Amino acid sequence: MLITERNIKLKAGNGGNGIVSFYKRRKGPDGGNGGKGGSIFIVSTSDIYALSDLSRRAKIKAGDGQHGMTNRKVGKSAEDLEIKVPIGTIITDKDSKEVFEVIDKDNRFLLCRGGRGGKGNWEYRSSKNVTPMYAQKGFKGQERSLYINLKLIADYGLIGLPNAGKSSLLKEITNANPKIGDYPFTTLEPNLGELGGKIIADIPGLIEGASKGKGLGIKFLKHIEKVSLLFHCISCELKEPEKSYQQVRNELKNYNPKLLKIPEIILLTKTDLKSEKEVKLSLKILKKLKRQILPVSIHNWDSLEKLRILVLKSFAVK
């Protein structure tokens, strides 16, 4: 299951306490310093399901540093933790409102710093105080309450009403293996496919009111905010293709008007289910929208090849 949102608390380890101790056979303090608490780092990964590993954990805590020891021995520092999140993740500190974006494949950054170990009494010796009777406590590790939000990093997006044939097209032109069925909402989470080194996302079907949370709601609209080209799938089965087109466009506008500025190509899908005359009629209606239009069917190899060429050509232009 693809997890795209998560609330979680992270707590870096506390530093170990310094101790009060004295040599047994000679004068002077020998209390060692405490070890450093473990820090927590965020590391990027191409695995879009990485947030699933966090789904059953409300809090993640790094280990505490070991307390100081006698004979001026420093306590052992705790190991740092690494938390993997998918590329495209936005992390927001709910208290400070700081925002951290994971945008590159080699991202690794510190999110919660481990506490510094406290000083043992050996550190406090002086000519005026040769027997210090105090030591420093370890410092607390940094703690954050976070909202983690994944926005898929796709280059291009397939959008449209439920059952518009998006998943079938993605399967045919890429290496994706989505669940496919002849009923609405077969796709319950985004599917990703790769073609020519670029990523295409199949976004679950939009219905009227999706931008306000109806159907699958805004949960998936966020995944197309950063694509550079949209392929708008419209089924040949629809009696009013222009109305259906505007319905989807309205949901995009209501969610984020900037989505309407993304370049768009219309794919008239499932052309094998209609006669040539009916297909031409649908094309005539859609041409009023002044968009590039390509009729396509998963059962027509030539149309699929034209789509692949179109997609790859679009990649080259970008």
In tens digits, what is the pLDDT along the chain, a chain of 318 residues? 677 889 999 999 999 999 999 998 888 999 999 999 999 999 998 787 888 888 778 899 999 999 999 999 999 999 999 999 988 899 999 999 999 999 888 899 999 999 999 999 999 999 999 999 999 999 999 999 999 998 877 889 899 888 888 888 988 888 766 555 454 444 456 777 888 878 888 887 665 555 555 555 456 777 788 888 999 999 999 989 999 899 899 988 988 899 999 999 999 999 999 999 999 999 999 999 999 999 999 999 999 999 998 888 775 554
Question: Which listed CATH number (2.70.210.12, 2.60.40.680, 3.60.15.10, 3.40.50.970) goes with 5-150?
Answer: 2.70.210.12
Architecture of domain 156-317: 3-Layer(aba) Sandwich (3.40)
Q: Are 143 and 11 in contact (CB under 8 A)?
A: yes
DSSP string, 46-98: S-TTGGGGGTT-SEEEPPPPPPP-STTPPPPPPPPEEEEEETTEEEEETTT--
Which of 33, 114, 25, 28 has the alpha carbon at shortest distance from 73? 33
**Structural domain boundaries in the chain:** 5-150, 156-317
Identify which of 144, 146, 192 has the alpha carbon closest to the alpha carbon of residue 54.
146
- Name the token pair of 313: 């050509």
Q: Give the list of residues 6+ apart from residue 236 with CB closer than 8 angstroms, or none.
A: 268, 269, 270, 271, 273, 274, 278, 279, 282, 295
The angle formed by the CA atoms of residues 159, 164 and 166, to the nearest 5 degrees, is: 55
